[in-house]
Amino acid sequence: MASLAGAGRLDPAPDVAVGRAGDREHGAEVAIFCRVSENRVTEARFQAFGCPHLLASSSWLTDRVRGAGREQLAAWDWREAADALEVPAAKFGRLLTLQDAVRAVAGNWPGAAASTV
């Protein structure tokens, strides 16, 4: 996984939002790390355990979310990655895990009153 674009993590900091979803025991786990500046994602990293489709989608996402705001992450839909990467229908459930992690980043947005970081 380390060779995939965006693989890795960002150390905890006041400007870093983290979203996690899934469980290795159920076959898919994702953590998304986003550095936020001026209310926009400036850097994104991921750590994931799962099928190659989940790993590829997580990598693709780290590039895609740069420049996104909290509202865009809160509304992000897994179908965008499925369409872009031609993910087979049998793997859609894995992408729901990715969607949950992305939306958790929005919930943990730096400086947001509802932050759970």
Say if residue 117's pLDDT is above 50: no
State the pLDDT confidence band at 112, using cuts at 50, 70 and 90: confident
pTM over 0.85: yes
State the pLDDT confidence band at 111, using cuts at 50, 70 and 90: confident
CA dist., res. 5 & res. 46, Å (int)? 9
pLDDT at residue 3, as a whole number? 86
Q: Which residues contact 111 (CB under 8 A, 6 or more apart)?
A: none
Q: Which residues contact 45 (CB under 8 A, 6 or more apart)?
A: 6, 7, 8, 9, 10, 32, 33, 62
The 10s digit of each residue's pLDDT in 23-67 is 998 889 999 999 999 999 999 999 999 999 999 999 999 999 999
